[in-house]
């Protein structure tokens, strides 16, 4: 069968409908009713489950009491990217999983939606609720402008330090701008949120600046009082399988980046039969979005079972209810095609051996595909160039409890350090690193 990759598979109305907001947004009345379900727990388990320590009962009570902007400030003072976290956080494994309402009712207070409601109200005012302290005379360089870096920059600016962000791409926001599924952050939200964060003042941004390319760590360390690295994981893992270089096989993150930056979704090439290899949220985002772009048949293939999947149950549900088929317990062992284009993928069934290790069974099956996406994880791109570099372990920068790398005065956070690779965790990394940098600079 000939490879079938085409643009313009849907009408403009269909693109519009498919890529509208995936989340049912609460209106004021719904938010008020939902907020009243919160029991205002003492030592609330939801707060403990929030990586950024948002005082959840307090912000919800403010919504109940009609102090919606106060609620937003309560969120943002702990998590300046509370707006994007309310859209992308896997609340079902964080705050909402720990809601005491789960115990008897199995239905948590909709914390994420309440957070979105209140932060949306505040951001719609166009006002920035925090005031920068007097200029400290200290300056900090931040490499990258993703969630960890924006969070770090805001907290440092709040303390009066001058911050310069160096971003390799053309826009701030990191994965919020280039990586998150489009229907989770509609209406250019990542850009608007980045502008909101930087509205505190004292933050400069230089785009097109890449560490090891036109930027060196030595120079930053010489020019600034401290450096924070929040460069994420820029590289994609390869499968190491024969035929991987055929046309039509590509990295999911690259395709999603193009999708997110596309002015017209009908320009994107879309295969009729698509296979996504991987089991994380990127794999899910890829599978759903290619389906919504008009692919006829989308299959995710993951080498382990649903319980081991990086994507949460909720994400799996999203995929399956959008007509994405998920196949478990199989790994790709070969790609074949004609004229240099991929046509099918050979999978070997997998199982766990008696020691719990994954192994192939030797049994194989083949699936036809016009497009294949790799979504099997990201990796740190090693810093190139001369000079001292922070040490890594397991492909991530080593940091101490203050987020300081093995180089004095150089800090790191977000996906480029060890962790859960969640936006909310990156925000916390950036915030805590900023506090440590502030202390290093003589603050308290």
Partner 1 sequence: MADLRSNLAGIKSPNPFWLASAPPTDKEYNVVRAYQAGWGGVVWKTLGEDPPVVNQTCRYGALYGTDRRVIGFNNIELISDRPLDVNLQEIKKVKKDWPDRALVVSLMVPCEEQSWIDILKKVEQTEADGIELNFGCPHGMSERGMGAAVGQVPEYIEMVVRWCKKHSSMPVITKLTPNITDVRYPARAALSGGTDAVSLINTINSITALDLDQMSILPSVDGKGTHGGYCGVAVKPIALSMVSEIARDKEAGGLVISGIGGVENWRDAAEFLALGASNVQVCTATMLYGFKIVEDMIDGLNNWMDEKGHGKLDNFIGAAVPNITDWQYLNINYESIAVIDQDKCIHCGRCHIACEDTSHQAIIATKVNGERKYEIDEPECVGCNLCYHLCPVPGCITMKPINNGKPPLQWVNDPRNPANGAAK
Residues that bind partner 1 (CB under 8 A): 32-33, 36, 39-45, 100-101, 103-104
Q: How far is the CB of 114 from partner 1 (least distance, A)?
A: 15
Distance between CA 383 and CA 326 in Å, rounded? 36
Nearer to partner 1, 114 or 288 (CB): 114
Give the 3-state DSSP-derived string for the chain, with helices as H, strands as E and coil as C: CCCCEECCCCCHHHHHHHCCCCCCCCCHHHHHHHHCCCCCCCCCHHHHHCCCCCCHHHHHHHHHCCCHHHHHHHHHHHCCCHHHHHHHCCHHHCHHHHCCHHHHHCCCCCHHHHHHHHHHHHHHCCCCCCCCCCCCCCEEEEECCCHHHHHHHHHHHHCCCEEEEEECCCCCCCHHHHCCCHHHCCCCHHHHHHHHHHCCCCEEEEECCCECCCECHHHHHHHCCEEEECCCCCEECCCCCCCCCCECEEEHHHHHHHHHHCCCHHHCCEECEEEEECCCHHHHHHHHHHHHCCCCEEEEECCCCCCCCCCCHHHHHHHHCCCEEEECCEEEEEEEEECCEEEEEEEEEEEECCCCCEEEEEEEEEEECCEEEECCCEECCCCCCCCCCCCEECCEECCCCCCECCCCCEEECHHHECCCCCHHHHHHHHHHHHHHHHHHCCCC
Q: How far is the CB of 425 from partner 1 (least distance, A)?
A: 20
Nearer to partner 1, 38 or 345 (CB): 38
Nearer to partner 1, 29 or 386 (CB): 29
Q: Record the tokens describing residue 86, joined without a space.
A: 């309310």
Nearer to partner 1, 105 or 391 (CB): 105
Nearer to partner 1, 53 or 267 (CB): 53
Q: How far is the CB of 39 from partner 1 (least distance, A)?
A: 5
Q: How far is the CB of 42 from partner 1 (least distance, A)?
A: 3
Nearer to partner 1, 61 or 438 (CB): 61
Nearer to partner 1, 31 or 246 (CB): 31
Nearer to partner 1, 114 or 256 (CB): 114
Q: How far is the CB of 310 from partner 1 (least distance, A)?
A: 24
Nearer to partner 1, 41 or 381 (CB): 41
Q: How far is the CB of 109 from partner 1 (least distance, A)?
A: 11
Nearer to partner 1, 88 or 94 (CB): 94
Q: How far is the CB of 58 from partner 1 (least distance, A)?
A: 13
Q: How far is the CB of 68 from partner 1 (least distance, A)?
A: 16
Residue 421: phi, psi to the nearest 5?
60, 45
Q: How far is the CB of 196 from partner 1 (least distance, A)?
A: 28
Q: How far is the CB of 82 from partner 1 (least distance, A)?
A: 24
Q: Are 430 and 402 in contact (CB under 8 A)?
A: no
Name the packing angle between helices 423-440 and 147-158 (round to 10°).
40
Question: Which residue has 């280039």 as its token pair?
Answer: 178
């Amino acid at each position: 069968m000939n490879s079938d990759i085409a643009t313009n598979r849907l009408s403009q109305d269909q693109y519009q409908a498919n890529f509208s907001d995936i989340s049912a947004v609460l209106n004021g009345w719904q938010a008020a009713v939902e907020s009243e379900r919160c029991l205002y727990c003492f030592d609330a388990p939801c707060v403990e489950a929030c990586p950024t320590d948002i005082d959840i009962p307090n912000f919800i009570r403010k919504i109940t009491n009609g102090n919606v902007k106060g609620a937003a400030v309560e969120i943002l003072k702990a998590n300046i990217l509370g707006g994007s976290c309310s859209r992308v956080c896997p609340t079902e494994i964080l705050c909402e999983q720990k809601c005491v309402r789960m115990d008897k009712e199995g239905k948590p207070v909709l914390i994420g939606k309440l957070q979105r409601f209140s932060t949306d109200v505040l951001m719609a005012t166009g006002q920035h609720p925090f005031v920068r302290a007097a200029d400290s005379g200290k300056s900090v360089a931040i490499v990258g402008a993703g969630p960890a870096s924006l969070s770090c920059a805001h907290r440092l600016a709040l303390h009066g330090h001058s911050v310069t962000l160096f971003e390799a791409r053309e826009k701030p926001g990191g994965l919020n701008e280039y990586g998150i599924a489009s229907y989770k952050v509609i209406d250019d939200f990542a850009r608007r949120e980045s502008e909101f964060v930087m509205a505190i003042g004292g933050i400069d941004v230089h785009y097109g600046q890449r560490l090891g390319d036109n930027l060196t760590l030595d120079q930053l360390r010489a020019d600034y009082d401290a450096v924070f690295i929040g460069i994420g994981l820029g590289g994609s893992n390869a499968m190491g399988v024969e035929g991987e270089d055929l046309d039509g096989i590509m990295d999911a993150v690259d395709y999603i980046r193009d999708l997110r930056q596309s002015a017209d979704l009908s320009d994107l090439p879309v295969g009729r039969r698509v296979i996504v290899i991987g089991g994380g949220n990127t794999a899910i985002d890829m599978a759903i979005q290619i389906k919504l772009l008009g692919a006829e048949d989308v299959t995710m293939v993951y080498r382990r079972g649903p319980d081991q999947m990086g994507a949460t149950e909720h994400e799996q549900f999203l995929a399956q209810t959008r007509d994405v088929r998920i196949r478990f317990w199989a790994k790709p062992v070969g790609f074949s095609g004609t004229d240099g284009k991929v046509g099918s993928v050979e999978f070997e069934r997998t199982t766990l051996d008696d020691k719990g290790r994954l192994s192939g069974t030797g049994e194989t099956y083949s699936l036809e595909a016009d497009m294949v996406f790799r979504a099997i994880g990201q990796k740190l791109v090693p810093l190139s160039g001369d000079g001292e570099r922070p040490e890594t372990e397991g492909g991530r920068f080593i940091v101490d409890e203050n987020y300081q790398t093995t180089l004095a005065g150089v800090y790191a956070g977000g996906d480029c350090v060890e962790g859960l690779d969640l936006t909310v965790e990156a925000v916390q990394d950036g915030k805590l690193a900023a506090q440590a940098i502030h202390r290093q600079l003589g603050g308290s």
